[in-house]
Amino acid sequence: MSKRALVTGITGQDGAYLSQLLLSKGYEVYGAVRRTSSINTARLADLGIDKDIKTVEFDLLEMSNILRVVEQTKPDEIYNLAAQSFVATSFEQPIYTGSVDGLGVTRVLEAIRTLGKGIRFYQASTSEMFGKVQATPQSETTPFYPRSPYGAAKLYAHWMTVNYREAYDIHASSGILFNHESPLRGTEFVTRKITLALARIQCGEAREVRLGNLAAKRDWGFAGDYVEGMWRMVQQPKADDYILATGETHSVEEFVCLAAAALGMEITFEGDGLQRVGRDGKTGRPIVVVDPAFFRPTEVDLLLGNPHKATTALGWQRKVSFQQLVEDMARKDFDRVRDGCLRY
Ligand code: NAP
Ligand code: G4F
């Protein structure tokens, strides 16, 4: 008999790739979708799987709803990907972020504790929990030091996942995932913001892109590779916590240069601090401008993960290189802008 999975956050980037993977493995997939004024399944449609998923109305803020959904769908596995996932917004909406990203996870764990301790649980934890990093590279034993309300809420959720595993013997795993991107990434995140803006500039629809901290460094991988790691964690005989990362780090500025090159543009940077500017190599026109509006009250300067445990215990490894990822994102956005079919 096929396994049944309940995926929260199914309308987001990871929800789409994970559902595609689970369907390919013969799972019956229930997609937990919160009520919004517009239907929001464009990513699932892009992967051609929107018709294969059974959707259920779900909100991490509503305990009674979570209990009913778990009772009615009777999943073998729950993947909790739902979150207010944008770090910058968490500084403006810290209480909301705490309720969804922190307490929301406890609500799901309570539903499992109440209704079915046999349900396996995956929690979408994050490298943002390392924040002001205490060691480099970061591994499962590196101490946490979150630098945003998002990071703090996710850290609470991480420890609740560990606690419910230890206290109630629930098969609950926490995936500490470093940044992962794709053509399905939300446009507010820096990678997609860059690829979309450069595509618009190349198509004559925009003149410049305004960014914040160009020196920030991230360990960026491809989301499609990371959902495979989530699934592998849940299949282990014993639940545990694992880092998924590439073991490489690159700056925002490097990402800009590589994305520009993929579109046949050359950008050269000059100046320091707020005066730093990226110019078109041919015309000298400013294309990348620093705007303090995109600085964060507290920043995570550098993330670099050590995926050794996942590689050895799960047999997981990323397949898509950084260069390939950037090129895929840049070219996909160029096609979308050129063809006038931008849906998210
Ligand atoms: P995303 O694209 O922003 O998707 C977030 C999903 O959560 C969306 O489906 C959203 O629904 C849903 N959601 C938000 N608030 C909700 C609520 N109150 N109740 C139910 N659903 C709600 O995020 P992602 O990049 O796919 O990331 C997936 C998860 O991994 C998130 O928990 C994120 O924090 C975590 N994570 C991501 C990364 C990364 O680099 N991508 C790294 C580490 C951890 P709507 O469509 O209605 O907004
Ligand atoms: O793309 P970002 O917004 O992602 P961030 O903050 O690293 O968070 C993402 O990864 C986390 C895993 O570590 C996830 F948990 C989280 O849900 C999310 O998916 O910003 C990346 C870096 C930051 O240092 C930011 O300050 O890029 C810098 N940046 C510079 N200019 C910018 C911009 N970020 C955004 N969003 N927009 C800018 O204009």
Are 126 and 201 found together in one domain? Answer: no
In this prediction, residues 262-285 reach a mean pLDDT of 97
pLDDT for the residue numbered 1: 80
Look at residues 206, 315, 211 and name the one whose alpha carbon lies nearest to residue 254: 211
Are 108 and 9 found together in one domain? Answer: yes
| Sign of the CA dihedral with 138 first, then 142, 144, and 147 last | negative
Given 77, 128, 181, 253, the catalytic residue: 128
> Angle formed by the axes of helices 104-115 and 63-73, to 10°?
40
**Domain for residue 82, yes or no?**
yes
To test the pocket of ligand 2, the residue of 132, 179, 256 to mutate (highest count of ligand atoms within 8 Å of its CB) is 179
Number of domains in the chain: 2
pLDDT for the residue numbered 116: 86
Active site residue 41: no
Contacts 24+ apart (CB under 8 A), 203-210: 203/334, 203/337, 203/338, 205/337, 207/285, 207/287, 208/286, 208/287, 208/288, 208/289, 209/287, 209/288, 209/289, 210/289, 210/290, 210/291, 210/293, 210/294
- Rounded Cα distance between 225 and 241, Å, is 17
Which one-letter DSSP state was computed for residue 117?
T
Indicate which CATH number applies to the domain containing 21: 3.40.50.720
In this prediction, residues 125-134 reach a mean pLDDT of 98
Residue 316 banded pLDDT, cuts 50, 70, 90: very high
R_g of the chain computed on alpha carbons: 20
Active site residue 226: no
Q: How many CB atoms lie within 10 A of CB 309?
A: 18
Are 168 and 235 found together in one domain? Answer: yes
- Model pTM above 0.85: yes
Reply yes or no on whether the pLDDT at 215 is more than 90.
Answer: yes
Residue 70 banded pLDDT, cuts 50, 70, 90: very high
Are 236 and 264 found together in one domain? Answer: no
Reported as a single tens digit per residue, the pLDDT across 79-111 is 999 999 999 999 999 999 999 999 999 999 999
- Rounded Cα distance between 36 and 262, Å, is 36
Are 130 and 195 found together in one domain? Answer: no
- Rounded Cα distance between 16 and 224, Å, is 9
CA distances from residue 24 to 21, 49, 278 in whole angstroms, order as listed: 5, 10, 43
Tell me how far the alpha carbon of residue 245 lies from the centroid of ligand 1, in angstroms: 18
Are 231 and 277 found together in one domain? Answer: no
Tell me which residue range forms the domain holding 66: 4-181+220-244
Q: Which ligand is nearest to the CA of 185?
A: 1
Mean pLDDT over each residue of the chain, to the nearest integer: 98
Residue of the CA atom closest to atom 47 of ligand 1: 34
**Domain for residue 154, yes or no?**
yes
The owner of tokens 């493995």 is 25
Ligand 1 atom with least separation from CA of 85 = 34
Ligand 2 atom with least separation from CA of 252 = 27
Are 161 and 269 found together in one domain? Answer: no
For residue 214, report the phi and psi dihedrals to the nearest 5 degrees: -75, -20
Are 35 and 125 found together in one domain? Answer: yes
Indicate which CATH number applies to the domain containing 198: 3.90.25.10
Read out DSSP for 157-222?
Answer: HHHHHHHHHHHH---EEEEEEPPEE-TTS-TTSHHHHHHHHHHHHHTTS-S-EEES-TT-EE--EE
pLDDT for the residue numbered 34: 97
Are 230 and 124 found together in one domain? Answer: yes
Tell me how far the alpha carbon of residue 261 lies from the centroid of ligand 2, in angstroms: 22
* Contact present, 308 and 223 (Cβ < 8 Å): no
Residue of the CA atom closest to atom 13 of ligand 1: 82
Neighbouring residues of 62: CB distance < 8 A, sequence distance ≥ 6: none
**Domain for residue 316, yes or no?**
no
Helix (H) or strand (E) holding 39: none
Express as a percent the part of the chain with pLDDT over 70.
Answer: 100
**Domain for residue 307, yes or no?**
no
Given 126, 161, 191, 246, the catalytic residue: 126
pLDDT for the residue numbered 117: 81
Are 208 and 73 found together in one domain? Answer: no
| Sign of the CA dihedral with 148 first, then 149, 154, and 155 last | positive
Q: Determine which of 5-14, 31-40, 239-248, 298-307 has the lowest per-residue pLDDT on average.
A: 31-40
In this prediction, residues 57-83 reach a mean pLDDT of 98
pLDDT for the residue numbered 101: 99
For ligand 1, is residue 55 a contact (CB within 6 Å)? no
Ligand 1 atom with least separation from CA of 82 = 7
Active site residue 242: no
**Domain for residue 308, yes or no?**
no
Are 53 and 160 found together in one domain? Answer: yes
Tell me how far the alpha carbon of residue 228 lies from the centroid of ligand 2, in angstroms: 23
Residue type, 212: G
User: Of 244, 260, 281, which residue is a domain's last?
Assistant: 244
Are 71 and 100 found together in one domain? Answer: yes
Reply yes or no on whether the pLDDT at 39 is more than 90.
Answer: no
- Rounded Cα distance between 98 and 215, Å, is 28
pLDDT for the residue numbered 153: 99
Which one-letter DSSP state was computed for residue 256?
H
